[in-house]
Structure 1
Amino acid sequence: MTKRRRAPRSSPDELRERANALKLYGLVANWDEYAEQPWLPRLLEHEEEERQVRSLARRVRNAKLGRFKELASFDWSWPRRIDRELLEEVFTLGFLEEAANVILVGPNGVGKTTLVKNLAHKALLRGYTAR
């Protein structure tokens, strides 16, 4: 199930722009024939949603994250020294906009991989790619 991110644009110029963005060149070439069809806005919306779903599935598959424990079940009391506020800030993904790096350091078994996989998954959901 997908969430609708925004109300669909429906003026003829906006519909044509959406069709162009979707690379529906046959539709655009015959625009005068289809521009006033009542089903056109919904068709474009369905196509946009389906492409978003397929894009997410492809990004998740290509990331090869495998199975991982959700962050909601992460034990914040172990390790004893962990900067939860800083990690929560990292999970806002602001560092991606700043093109900054994030490095997690600690001994084996404290959850670094779990945190990184959750971070990658969140980035995938926001439209980024991950390797």
Structure 2
Amino acid sequence: MTSPEPDNGRERAARLHMYGLVAHWQDAFEAGWALTLLEWEENERAKRSLERRLKDARIGRFKPLCDFDWSFPTRCDRQAIDALMHLDFIRDAANAVFIGPNGVGKSTLARNIAHHAVLNGHTALFTSAGQLLGELAAIDSASALRRRLAHYTAPALLVIDEVGYLSYTNRHADLLFELISRRYEIKSTIVTTNRNFADWHEVFPNAACVVSMVDRLVHNAEVIAIEGQSYRLKEATERSEQRAVDRKPESP
């Protein structure tokens, strides 16, 4: 006597578009290999999907959050970061903004959140503001621009890094406003910036859309201020001091 067929076995095969297996499900199940084949297929597809999403996210190398020195910043809301790592903000189509000087870990935190989102089944894309706006501004075809804006609108999480390190034209401002508006209350965006919002008029001088851009970005957003000295400068200083120690000749 054969074991009863699992309720979801045939449905799982249908979701995977394994129509040959669906058509001969009873025979395959009674032969004892149908569920094993399903498990192999599901695992392999999940693996390939993760690899593809990680590649498309372009997160790059980063220090994992477990190695982040929380004691170094003089101000950093760790509980707010931990809440973002739970990824509820992505399900709510909310945003996050990290504000702070150079080297305090804004990009590291954003990369960790994006990586964690991909591992949990979301799509993500990490880009710098300069790369994003430079690419969009260089497109001179309306149809090509629409396609590229759709590309940046598609991910569940878009990280725009280093807003404020360069200044931009009105066209750049209009393009960023268009992208943020397309994602507004539909998809989540993380922005890292070294400028307070009151100074964004210096980043986008004479751009009429700055107030509306900031309004859409921060609505229902977690705004996290990070203060402190540059961690990269700290590490560079420590390496320099260690090299000096290593070069010092031993006393006879």
Q: How far does residue 35 in structure 1 lie from its aligned partner after superposition?
A: 3.4
> Does residue 16 in structure 1 map to residue 10 in structure 2?
yes
State the match for 1:69 in structure 2.
63
CA contact (8 A) 1:91 1:119 kept: yes
Partners of 1:12 and 1:35 within 8 A in 2? no
Instruction: Report the counterpart of residue 240 of structure 2 in structure 1.
Output: none
The reply on whether 1:125 has 2:133 as its aligned counterpart is no
**What is the aligned residue count?**
122
Question: Aligned-pair distance for 1:66?
Answer: 1.1
Match of 1:99 in 2: 93
Cα distance, 1:13 vs structure 2:
4.0
Q: Percent identity?
A: 52
- State yes or no: 1:115 paired with 2:109: yes
Q: 1:89 to 1:12 in 2, by over 3 A?
A: closer
* C-alpha RMSD of matched pairs (Å): 1.4
State the alpha-carbon separation in 1 of the partners of residues 96 and 80 from structure 2: 11
Residue 26 (1) aligns with residue 25 (2): no
Segments of structure 2 that go 5 or more residues without pairing to the other structure are: 126-252
Higher radius of gyration, 1 or 2: 2
Give the TM-score normalised by structure 1. 0.86
* Matched residue type, 2:116: K
State the secondary structure of the residue aligned to 1:103: strand
Cα distance in 2 for residues equivalent to 1:113 and 1:90: 14
Q: Give the Cα–Cα distance (whole angstroms) in 1 for the partners of residues 93 and 47 of structure 2.
A: 26
Which of 7, 30, 38 is the aligned partner of 2:32?
Answer: 38
Instruction: Write 1 or 2 for the structure with the bigger share of strand.
Output: 2
Amino acid at match of 1:21: R
- Amino acid in the other structure paired with 1:92: H
- Residue 32 of structure 1 and its aligned partner are, at CA, apart by 4.2
Taking structure 2 as the reference length, the TM-score comes to 0.46
Change (3 A) 1:94 1:12: closer
- 1:53 aligned onto 2:63: no
Q: Where has structure 1 moved over 6 Å in runs of 4 or more?
A: none
Q: Deviations over 1:83-106 (max 9, x none)?
A: 111111111111111111111111
Q: Which runs of 5+ in 1 are unaligned?
A: 1-9
Q: What is the aligned partner in structure 1 of residue 231 from structure 2?
A: none
